[in-house]
């Protein structure tokens, strides 16, 4: 059989079948009814079958037409996937993905996934901004980062926040500290300790201060540092203890430091993938975003 029709004819057939009306299908396709009728006639002549039963009141698919509709939809879907796949492949050949994230994410969330991404797309550059929570949020909002990993942003109307990990705050101390063997510690039990803390401008400090607002006795802070890494360095030096997110203690950079979960109140923070609402990512950025999402959907929901 000689095929004498094109994609426009197939789209016209699907439109008439779905609308059950030549008039409405013609309007959808921005065609005159006569032009649409010619396309359907051309298709029927090429196939040698009748696809529609037409009366003055209605348009109905024949039995052959119903079967053909299923096949055409499958074929058009496959063609669309193929075209998008080629475009996606081309978009992944070169380019740059810019990611903003809090420092702990660089150590715990990125290495394994970035290695796989780089193996698949060796010519794609990845630029990472490891910044404070507020800076990460600002970079994503300003469009300077394709997306971010942050524990801040869920409350922002311009941000889509997709939770990927919940971590508990722990009391960081040297391994030989008198409280190091405890399974958990209440904040009240630690009031007498010399506390080292991140500065009030830090997102971590905001989380802790908000959670302890209703607690009668607060720990006394005698030293402040801008970043958690600096806090842990001072803890390792034996200068005191610190309340920090659990992941930061598991980093391995401070072998002499251990973390004991804090309770009463128990404080958590939720890390999530953040992106700007109604903003379409480039294919390479979307691929890395999806890889991170899939990788962490298979991990435990909370830190041990």
Predicted confidence at residue 299, as pLDDT, reads 54
Does 139 fall in a domain?
A: yes
- Say if residue 254 is in the same domain as residue 264: yes
CATH number of the domain residue 202 falls in: 3.40.190.10
Q: Is 156 exposed, middle or buried (0-12, 13-18, 19+ CB in 10 A)?
A: middle
- Say if residue 27 is in the same domain as residue 55: yes
- Say if residue 203 is in the same domain as residue 131: no
- Say if residue 170 is in the same domain as residue 250: yes
- Say if residue 170 is in the same domain as residue 264: yes
- Say if residue 49 is in the same domain as residue 60: yes
Predicted confidence at residue 85, as pLDDT, reads 61
- Say if residue 86 is in the same domain as residue 107: no
Does 2 fall in a domain?
A: no
Residues 6+ apart with CB under 8 A from 81: none
Using CA atoms, how far apart are residues 62 and 153, in angstroms rounded to an integer? Answer: 55
CATH number of the domain residue 17 falls in: 1.10.10.10
Predicted confidence at residue 301, as pLDDT, reads 43
Last residue of a domain, one of 91, 113, 144: 91
Closest CA to 240 of 193, 302, 175, 186: 193
Does 303 fall in a domain?
A: no
pTM (2 d.p.)? 0.61
Does 152 fall in a domain?
A: yes
Q: What is the residue whose two structure tokens read 């298979």?
A: 298
Two structure tokens written together for 303:
């830190």
Using CA atoms, how far apart are residues 244 and 228, in angstroms rounded to an integer? Answer: 7
Two structure tokens written together for 13:
């057939």
Task: Using DSSP bridges, classify how beta strands 52-54 and 59-61 pair: parallel, antiparallel or unpaired.
Answer: antiparallel
Does 302 fall in a domain?
A: no
Using CA atoms, how far apart are residues 140 and 143, in angstroms rounded to an integer? Answer: 5
Cβ count near 163 (within 10 Å): 13
CA 121, 126, 132, 135 torsion-angle sign = negative
Last residue of a domain, one of 91, 121, 152: 91
- Say if residue 262 is in the same domain as residue 274: no
Chunked in runs of 10, what are the mean pLDDT values of the chain (304 residues)? 70 88 84 88 89 85 90 80 60 79 81 89 89 90 94 84 89 94 93 90 82 80 89 93 87 78 90 90 88 72 40
| Residue 96, helix vs strand vs coil | strand
| Residue 182, helix vs strand vs coil | coil
Two structure tokens written together for 187:
């904040």
Using CA atoms, how far apart are residues 120 and 63, in angstroms rounded to an integer? Answer: 47
- Say if residue 60 is in the same domain as residue 120: no
Using CA atoms, how far apart are residues 97 and 104, in angstroms rounded to an integer? Answer: 19
Answer whether 302's CB lies under 8 Å from 168's CB: yes
Using CA atoms, how far apart are residues 147 and 100, in angstroms rounded to an integer? Answer: 6
Number of domains in the chain: 3
Predicted confidence at residue 139, as pLDDT, reads 94
Does 158 fall in a domain?
A: yes
Does 203 fall in a domain?
A: yes
Quote the strand ranges of the chain, DSSP E. 52-54, 59-61, 95-101, 124-130, 147-150, 159-174, 185-186, 195-198, 221-225, 242-245, 257-263, 268-276
Last residue of a domain, one of 26, 57, 91: 91
Half-sphere exposure of 127 (CA within 13 A, CB side): 8
Range of the domain at 35: 7-91
- Say if residue 174 is in the same domain as residue 252: yes
- Say if residue 176 is in the same domain as residue 242: yes
Q: At what angle do helices 203-211 and 133-141 cross, to 10 degrees?
A: 120
Task: Print the SS3 string covering 18-55.
Answer: HHCCHHHHHHHHCCCHHHHHHHHHHHHHHHCCCCEEEC
Does 145 fall in a domain?
A: yes
- Say if residue 112 is in the same domain as residue 28: no
């Amino acid at each position: 059989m000689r095929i004498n029709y094109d994609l426009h004819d197939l789209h016209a057939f699907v439109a008439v079948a779905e609308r059950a009306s030549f008039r409405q299908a013609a309007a959808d396709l921005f065609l005159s009814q006569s032009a649409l009728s010619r396309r359907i006639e051309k298709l029927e002549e090429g196939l040698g079958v009748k696809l529609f039963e037409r009366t003055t009141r209605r348009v109905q698919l024949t039995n052959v037409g119903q079967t053909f509709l299923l096949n055409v939809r499958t074929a058009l879907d496959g063609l669309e996937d193929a075209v998008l796949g080629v475009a996606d492949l081309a978009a992944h050949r070169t380019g740059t993905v810019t990611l903003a994230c809090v420092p702990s994410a660089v150590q715990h969330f990125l290495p394994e996934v970035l290695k796989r991404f780089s193996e698949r797309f060796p010519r794609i550059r990845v630029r990472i901004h490891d910044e404070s929570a507020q800076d990460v949020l600002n970079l994503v909002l300003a469009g300077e980062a394709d997306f971010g990993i942050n524990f801040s942003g869920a409350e922002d109307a311009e941000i889509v926040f997709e939770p990927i990990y919940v971590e508990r705050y722990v009391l960081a101390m040297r391994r030989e500290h008198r409280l190091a063997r405890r399974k958990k510690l209440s904040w009240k039990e630690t009031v007498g300790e010399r506390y080292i803390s991140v500065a009030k401008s830090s997102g971590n400090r905001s989380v802790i201060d908000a959670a302890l607002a209703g607690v009668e006795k607060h720990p006394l802070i005698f030293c402040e540092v801008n970043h958690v890494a600096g806090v842990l360095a001072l803890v390792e030096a034996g200068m005191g203890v610190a309340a920090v997110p659990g992941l930061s203690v598991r980093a391995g950079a401070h072998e002499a430091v251990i973390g004991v979960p804090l309770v009463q109140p128990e404080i958590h923070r939720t890390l999530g993938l953040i992106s700007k609402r109604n903003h379409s990512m480039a294919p390479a950025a979307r691929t890395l975003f999806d890889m991170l999402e899939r990788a962490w959907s298979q991990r435990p929901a909370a830190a041990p």
